[in-house]
Each structure stands twice: as C-alpha cells, then as structure tokens.
Amino acid sequence: MPNEKSPIARFESGENFYSHHYFGFHQADYKGQEGFVFRVWAPNAQQIWLVGDFNDWDYSLPMKKEAQSDVWEIFTTKPKRGEFYKYLVKQENGRIVYKIDPFATYFEKRPHDAAVIHTIPEKKWRDGLWRGRTKHSNYFKRPMNIYEVHAGSWKSNEDGTPYSFEKLKETLIPYVKEMGFSHIEFMPLMEHPLGESWGYQLIGYFALSSYYGTPEEFQDFVEECHLNNIGVLIDWVPGHFCINDDALAYYDGTPQFEYNDPIRAKNVRWGSLNFDLSKPQIQSFLISSALYWIEMFHIDGIRVDAVSNMLYLDYDDGPTVIKQASDNRNWDGFYFLQKLNAVIKLAHPNVIMIAEESSSETKITGTIENGALGFDYKWNLGWMNDTLCFYEMDAAFRKYHFHLLTFSFMYMMNENYILPLSHDEVVHGKRSLMHKMWGDRYKQFAQLRNLYVYLITHPGKKLLFMGSEWGQFLEWKSDQALEWVDLEDEMNGSMQHFTKRLNAFYQNEKSLWELDHTAETIEIIDADNSEQTVLSFIRKGKAKKDFLIVILNFSPIERQNFKVGVPFPGSYEEVLNTEMKEFGGTWIEPNQISKTSQEPYKHFDYQIQTIVPSLGAIILKPKEINIRIKKMNEHSAK
C-alpha cells in the first residue's frame, strides 16, 4: 500500500478539504494525559505562543514548529472548556501581535474576538426523511421560493438584542411555513466583528457568530426547518476577508492568506483583503469551510457572494491591475470556483450551489466539463435592476421603456437563474420595495402586488427579502428589527395576506416550476404592447392542459375588453386577480369565465376577451378546452 499523504502535506497541496479536523484545537491524549492540541499554519512566523485565560495570557506556552513544516503545534492540559484563547505571533519582522485562531469554531461575543474552547457534541439528527427526500428529488423541477433573512434584525428582544437561533426556531420557522416559502436564506452567519458589515466581512470561517447563539442552537434550528419541510441556505464569502489586524490579515507578517501583489491583495471597494485563490493552502482552507457548514449543520445550499470579484482583475474600484495575457480574467478565481463546485458536488450532489454574480462574460451554471463554473444557480441581477427601474418609473413614461421589462426574455435560458428582490435593493437610500413604487399609497400597494406576480410567473426561482412580503415602507436597518408594527395597518396586512396566497399558488401550480429551466416553460403572447403597457405570456407544465395565462397591466388605466391570444378553444377561468378586495384592491367579484372566439391573435388561432385592472395582474387557467381541435388543424396543415 502506498503511503498516504499527511494532513499537512494534503493541506499544502490544496487537497485537504477537511483541514478543520487537523488545525485549530482538538481534544487529545498524549502519554496518558488528556488535554488539547492546538495547531496553526503560519509559514514565516518567528515564534508563536498559545495564550488565554488558562495562563493569564503570558508567554508560558510556546508552540513548536517541526522541521520542513509550516505548522506550529502544542499539546497542553491547562485549558478548560469555556475559556478564551488566542495566538501571540512574532511575525517575520519581529513584531508581536495577538491573532485569532483561523480554524476556531466559536468566539466570544463582539466587540471582543477571542476564540472559545468549545467542543460541539455529536448530534443525533432527526431530519433523515428530509435528507432522503432531497436525494431523490430534482430541485431544478421543484418550486423554490426563498425568504432572505438577516438573522440579527428579523426580530429583536425588548433590550434591542437580536433573537438567538433558539428563539428563531420558535418564531421564524412557523412564520416561514405559514407564509409558504420553501427555503430560508441567511445572510452570512459566520463570525464577523462589525454588525454594519451584515456579515460580509468575516474573521471566523468555521464559527457561527456568537451574536446569534451557539452552534448547537443553529443545528437544532436547521433540524426543525427540515422537520417542517423548509430548506436552509447560507451566504458565504470566499473572495475577501476582514482587514482587522488581529484576524487573518498578514497573519505571519507576510502575505499569507492574501495575494503577494499588494494591488491584488487590497479590496478598495469593500475595505477588505482578497484571498490568494492560487495558493493551495487557501484552497484547502476555504473548501474545508464550505464542507464544514454543509456537514456540521446539514445546510441545503450555499450562496457564494461576490463571484465577479473573484473572476475579474479589474472588478474593484482600486488601481488598475496589470492584465494577464490581455485578459481581465482572474484565472486563479476561475479555477478555484470550478474546484470548489467539483469537490462539493462529489461529496454532496444534492447541495445547491448559488452564485451572486453580476457579469455576463463567464458561464456560471452548467457543467465544468463544458467550461462553466459548475454552479446550480446564478442570481439574475440584470433582471432585478431592469425590473425595479421600470417599476420606479412614472407610469406615463413606461411605454417608452417597455424593453426594461421584456429584455430578460431574450436571455432567460442562458443560465439557471434565481430572481432576487434582495437586501441590496432596500438599503443605503434605495428605499424599500413598496416605497420604490410610483404614485400614492394605494397605487404603490397595487404595483407591489403586480411586481410579485411578475416575480412568481417569470421563469426562474424566486427570492424575497424579509419585510418586503407586507410592504414595509422604511428601508431595512441592520441594527433594528423589522417594522412589525406595520401589520396593524389594514393595507400592510392585506399585502401580507396576498403574498401568502401568491406563495401557495406558486407551490400548487406545476406550470410555474416543472419546466422552469427549459424553453418549453414559456410562450409569449404579446411582449410588444408598449402603447397600452400590458404584457402577456403563457407558463406551461408537462401536461398539454397544464398552463396558465398571465396578463400584467403596468398602466393606471383599466383595460376593458382586452384581447388575449390562447392556444386552444374553450373556456378560461380567472384564478388570481391582484385587485380583489381581500388583497387590498377594490374588486368584489372576479372576471367572468372567458370563452374563446375563433379569431386569430398574433400567432394564435383563438382569442378571449377579459378586463385587466389598472396597475394589476390577472392569471387565467383553462377550465374546459379542446386540445384535439388544434392537433387536427396542425395535422391538416401538414
């Protein structure tokens, strides 16, 4: 048998995807003594000491570096569970600085950042049914309606502190289940020193932020989600990291985690440092982090943040980077992302990999063998920006910019998309979704309902940021709870009720997700009616009779006797109308059943007439149709 590589050798070669099993601290027995072994990677440090509560933070526990190794190690019996620790690092230039443990699994509460000697007991999971079901289901052909959550500001205690995951288990999960969302996506939960970063400036890549409770509480939360048929996704940031001096930045006094080139290392836009994704040790570190969250917490999917920053050398706002071979591509990032997806899919084929990526130059979703990065989904940021720009516009000018709403139909099958109405669009002066809408308060709610119908019926999976489901007026603030008091207002309550009904409609209608990522899922009826500013299309399921007719009116004029082409003769029934009184509108009765006339409309042989409410949307479903007639006509034409 050939000798297996040591954990250090595999880490050094970029192949140790479970490096957290070796580095950090671990319970150990040495010469009959029970204690802990601590290991840290610091190639150019002159000396490292283990310091903590257990030795009054002094120099009494020097670590040793074995010959031909970049890893420092110590075994000691002094530490006790619950005590704090750090590493005292004498860097290459002789400077001595306290540093966190890069592999720590728990930290003290911010603003402090010492690691805690905390071992997570092995959990007896009860979510086997959920995990078994996901193994045998194809999420591309299933509904995916994501509720995006910032754990620190969904709700708060009376003293202003956020709910822990123990409390979120009792409150957030029933709410998400009642509202009909299929997944919760959390903005980063890993340890970060500044709440205003929303978790995107990380220091602890293996640690749940103690601000939200213990790792065990988060395990219980995920388990409870699965028992209630709710998936859990998390945001993860492998591109850049917090610049704080006591964290990963220039750990041993040299560019260790970051690029050697100071221009490539510095991320001007976010005030952080970029990981050197070409280094095999960094690849081992980051892929280990992803697998840790998947396996320790049974996470269903990972949304990789800021992929464009990893793909392009000129993405940042800083000085121009010298281009490689006349190309702005960062091939280090490109190949790392392919490797990340390959490793995760090999170990966990059913884990959903999502990219937040803003360009169109690189194939993001699809197989690595065909040149893609290997992600399952990509956020459609172009759709989000164009759509919100259109809805913010005065209705009188929308007919001149109708392409903003219809352009996505030209590229909607280029990738497997998630349509995000995310946190980024309701902060920093951008206003809440409800506040973006044109017109008075009544018109704003009418258009918000219209927008959500467009979101739900457009091909692609769905994502909605918390608070948007009832039309919160104020912008999101990361240090304050959502404005739950809004729900005392009848219009906000009706909006929440509408979102709940729409989510249930989406879950129940196969035509909205069964063929989601194939061209057969949609047939455009009329995307050129810019004068009336009305869009109409058909969403289709596998069965011939399984389809929906969607009509969206973006003008404040009710469209009487509105003609719509339909594929089969018969009758069509209205199954959703955004202007019904129960949703906050004025209609008491829905449209009557529409019967076809044999008059051509566009490329259809038949048409119906109906009423489309101002700034509203309606969805029709076949009630009694004859699909054989069309087949006979097609056969005769041949």
Model confidence pLDDT, tens digit, residues 23-32: 999 999 888 8
pLDDT at 513 over 70: yes
The verdict on residue 418 lying in a domain is no
> Is the peptide bond between 111 and the residue preceding it cis, with omega within 30 degrees of 0?
yes
Residue 594: per-residue pLDDT? 96
pLDDT at 326 over 70: no
Domain boundary among 95, 116, 137: 116
3 state SS of 375: strand
pLDDT-derived band at 478 (thresholds 50, 70, 90) equals very high
Residue 518: per-residue pLDDT? 95
CATH code at position 32: 2.60.40.10
Contact 536, 601 (CB under 8 A): no
The verdict on residue 305 lying in a domain is no
The domain containing residue 78 runs over which residues?
7-116
Pairing type for strands 272-274 and 240-241 reads antiparallel
Q: What is the DSSP letter of 320?
A: P
Q: Which of 252, 305, 316, 357 is catalytic?
A: 305
Q: Distance between CA atoms of 193 and 112, rounded to whole angstroms? A: 8
The verdict on residue 565 lying in a domain is yes
pLDDT at 2 over 50: no
Residue 327: per-residue pLDDT? 77
Residue 32: per-residue pLDDT? 84
Residue 305 annotated among the catalytic residues of the structure: yes
Domain boundary among 84, 116, 148: 116
Q: Distance between CA atoms of 9 and 332, rounded to whole angstroms? A: 21
The number of CA neighbours under 13 Å toward the Cβ of 491 is 16
Residue 319: per-residue pLDDT? 67
The first and second tokens of residue 271, run together, are 């005030």
For Cα atoms 363, 367, 369, give the angle at the middle one, nearest 5 degrees: 100
The number of CA neighbours under 13 Å toward the Cβ of 588 is 0
Residue 67: per-residue pLDDT? 79
Mean pLDDT of 312-339: 82
Residue 635: per-residue pLDDT? 44
The verdict on residue 304 lying in a domain is no
CATH code at position 533: 2.60.40.1180
Mean pLDDT of 595-605: 95
pLDDT at 304 over 70: yes
Total domains, the chain = 2
Q: Distance between CA atoms of 41 and 70, rounded to whole angstroms? A: 6
For Cα atoms 351, 173, 455, give the angle at the middle one, nearest 5 degrees: 65
pLDDT at 636 over 50: no
Q: What is the DSSP letter of 545?
A: T
What are 67-99's pLDDT values in tens digits? 788 999 999 999 999 999 999 999 999 999 999
The number of CA neighbours under 13 Å toward the Cβ of 186 is 28
Mean pLDDT of 480-509: 97
Residue 629: per-residue pLDDT? 66
pLDDT at 632 over 70: no
Question: 316 or 351, which is more confident?
Answer: 351
Mean pLDDT of 510-530: 96
Contact 423, 148 (CB under 8 A): yes
Q: Which residues contact 293 (CB under 8 A, 6 or more apart)?
A: 234, 236, 299, 302
pLDDT at 66 over 90: no
For Cα atoms 4, 238, 69, give the angle at the middle one, nearest 5 degrees: 35
Q: At what angle do helices 215-227 and 165-179 cross, to 10 degrees?
A: 20
The verdict on residue 612 lying in a domain is yes
pLDDT at 1 over 70: no
For Cα atoms 299, 199, 477, give the angle at the middle one, nearest 5 degrees: 115
Q: What is the DSSP letter of 54?
A: G
Q: Which of 73, 113, 223, 356 is catalytic?
A: 356
Q: Which residues contact 456 (CB under 8 A, 6 or more apart)?
A: 145, 462, 502, 503, 505, 506, 512
Q: Distance between CA atoms of 88 and 96, rounded to whole angstroms? A: 7
Q: Distance between CA atoms of 485 and 309, rounded to whole angstroms? A: 39
3 state SS of 215: helix
Look-up of token digits 């257990």: 54
Residue 320: per-residue pLDDT? 59
Domain boundary among 92, 116, 140: 116
> Of 159-168, 254-263, 314-323, 625-634, which range is least confident?
625-634
Residue 31: per-residue pLDDT? 81
The verdict on residue 198 lying in a domain is no
The verdict on residue 407 lying in a domain is no
Mean pLDDT of 3-16: 90
Residue 89: per-residue pLDDT? 98
Average pLDDT score over the chain: 95
What residue ranges in 546-596 does DSSP mark as E strands? Answer: 547-553, 559-566, 570-577, 594-595
The verdict on residue 320 lying in a domain is no
